[in-house]
């Protein structure tokens, strides 16, 4: 649905996006992650034809955005930068005015999108009375007006309170499930991305440092939680037996290659150490992201095969 090939963007002497390849397949909720200034908005701006790439090709819905912008963006809805509305007009009137700039839209369609985003009952109130969350929902309504197949959302939860973030997440999930939309969103909120997205790309200093399925991240776990009566003694013993290669003082161990947890338990019990718990820990997106930021700061583009684990943080 979106394909970026060899994209570079230079602002003056600053290279904001460096040799970026990115593929967002149809049907996914795709998360674009990265620190402030990583280049996410610049990349999104190029997808929407609002930032001109210095080099490379941007294709959206099969069309080259720089050559056939209108065709490429025909089926795309977006929230990009801070949406501007006429404060002294109602949400409904704002949407009506917007349709004058785009395509003729029936009142029925406006009613539909207002219901979709949960603004029913407030659509005739002036926008100046709207909360930040309601403005975001109005921006989403605007993005949905042209019946898009692809939705591009730059930081959709930015500035929302926890309830607003929760509602936005439910709305995005519904749009994906019930309307079958492909969705690309950028975010700082790792928890949000973890709950919403099936694939992610991580950017660091303008470079992509990872792209792949979210499921491939949790499979790279290596840590095992060990709860015993004497953790220090257990670690000394397991290291001497070469059954573990790493440990953290908060009760985590990394097993050596081909060691299974039953072997650990046997060894400890035979040496009079009581075992209360031994359980493999899934790597969270936060663990993975932090390890990428640490080890991939200079940024060689990663793929699904990148297996950077919390263990690699510990060893640095
Ligand atoms: N119009 C511009 N002129 C000059 N530099 C720019 C411009 N737009 C962005 N930049 C720079 O490009 C880099 C990438 O910015 P960008 O806004 O894409 O990052 P981001 O990942 O979206 O960050 P944030 O999460 O803070 O929005 C930053 O160093 C920024 O200062």
Q: How far is CA 45 from CA 54, 148, 295, in A?
A: 13, 17, 28
Does the predicted interface ipTM exceed a cut of 0.90? yes
What is the reported pLDDT for 188?
83
Instruction: Name the pLDDT band for 301 (thresholds 50, 70, 90).
Output: very low
Minimum CA distance residue for ligand 1 atom 5: 11
The reply to whether ligand 1 has any atom less than 6 angstroms from the CB of 11 is yes
pLDDT at residue 27 in the model: 94
Q: Is the pLDDT of residue 56 over 70?
A: yes
pLDDT band at 220 (very low <50, low <70, confident <90, very high): low
Distance 176 CA to ligand 1 centre (A): 28
- Collapsing DSSP to helix, strand or coil, 269 comes out as helix
Residue in this structure with the two tokens 């338990």, named with its chain if needed: 265
Please tell me the least confidently modeled range out of 53-67, 80-94, 299-313.
299-313
pLDDT category, 296, cuts 50, 70, 90? low
Question: Does residue 219 surpass a pLDDT of 70?
Answer: no
Of all protein residues, the one whose alpha carbon is nearest to atom 16 of ligand 1 is: 39
Nearest CA residue ID for atom 17, ligand 1: 41
| Radius of gyration of the CA atoms of the chain, in A | 24
13 lines ligand 1 (CB under 6 A): no
Q: Tell me the average pLDDT across 92-114.
A: 87
115's CB contacts (< 8 A; 6+ apart) are: none
Residue 39: what pLDDT? 94
Measure 256 CA to ligand 1 centroid, in angstroms: 43
> With 60 as the cut, is the pLDDT of residue 200 above it?
yes
Q: What is the pLDDT of residues 110-122, one digit of tens each?
A: 999 999 999 999 9
HSE toward the beta carbon, residue 283, CA cutoff 13 A: 25
Q: Calculate the average pLDDT of the chain.
A: 87
* Residue 47 Cβ contacting ligand 1 at under 6 Å: no
Coil, strand or helix at 24: strand
* Fold entry, domain 222-280: Alpha-Beta Plaits (3.30.70)
CATH 3.30.70 residue ranges in the chain?
222-280
Which of 101 and 161 is assigned the larger pLDDT?
Answer: 161
- CATH no. for 2-217: 3.40.50.300
Lowest mean pLDDT among 73-77, 179-183, 276-280, 307-311: 307-311
The predicted pLDDT at position 250 comes to 84
DSSP states along 186-219: EES-HHHHHHH-SEEEEEETTEEEEEEETHHHHT
Q: How confident is the model at residue 47 (pLDDT cuts 50, 70, 90)?
A: very high
81 compared with 309, residue with greater pLDDT = 81
**Domain ranges in the chain with CATH number 3.40.50.300:** 2-217
Q: How confident is the model at residue 299 (pLDDT cuts 50, 70, 90)?
A: very low
Residue 306, pLDDT > 60, answer: no
Query: By mean pLDDT, which of 66-70, 200-204, 307-311 is the weakest?
Result: 307-311
CA 107 to ligand 1 center in whole angstroms: 38
Q: Is 37 in the pocket of ligand 1 (CB under 6 A)?
A: yes
Chain-centre distance for alpha carbon 285: 10
Q: Which of 217-226, 235-244, 281-290 has the lowest mean pLDDT?
A: 217-226
């Amino acid at each position: 649905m979106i394909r970026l090939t060899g994209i570079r963007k230079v602002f003056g002497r600053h290279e904001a996006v460096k040799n970026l390849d990115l593929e967002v397949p149809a049907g996914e909720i795709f998360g674009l992650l990265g620190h402030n200034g990583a280049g996410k908005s610049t990349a999104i701006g190029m997808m929407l034809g609002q930032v001109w790439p210095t080099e490379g090709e941007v294709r959206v819905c099969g069309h080259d955005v720089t050559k056939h912008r209108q065709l490429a963006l025909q089926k795309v809805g977006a929230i990009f930068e801070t949406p501007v509305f006429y404060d002294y007009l109602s949400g409904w009137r704002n949407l009506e005015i917007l349709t004058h700039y785009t395509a003729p839209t029936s009142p029925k369609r406006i009613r539909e999108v207002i219901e979709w985003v949960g603004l029913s009952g407030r659509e005739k109130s002036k926008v100046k009375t709207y909360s930040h969350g309601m403005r975001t929902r109005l921006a989403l309504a605007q993005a949905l007006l042209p019946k898009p197949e692809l939705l591009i959302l730059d930081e959709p939860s930015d500035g929302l309170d926890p309830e607003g973030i929760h509602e936005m997440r439910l709305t995005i999930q519904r749009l994906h499930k019930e309307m079958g939309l492909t969705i690309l969103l950028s975010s700082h909120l790792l928890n949000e991305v973890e709950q919403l997205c099936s694939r992610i790309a991580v950017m660091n200093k303008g470079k992509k440092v990872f792209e792949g399925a979210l499921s491939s991240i949790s499979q790279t776990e290596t840590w095992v939680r060990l709860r015993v009566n004497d953790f220090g003694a257990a670690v000394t013993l397991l290291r001497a037996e070469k059954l573990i290669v790493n440990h953290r003082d908060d009760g985590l161990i990394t097993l050596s290659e081909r060691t299974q947890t039953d072997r650990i338990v046997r060894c400890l019990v035979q040496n009079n150490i009581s075992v209360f718990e031994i359980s493999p820990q899934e790597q969270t997106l936060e663990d993975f992201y932090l390890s990428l930021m640490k080890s991939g700061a200079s940024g060689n583009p990663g793929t699904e095969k990148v297996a950077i684990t919390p263990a690699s943080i510990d060893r640095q």
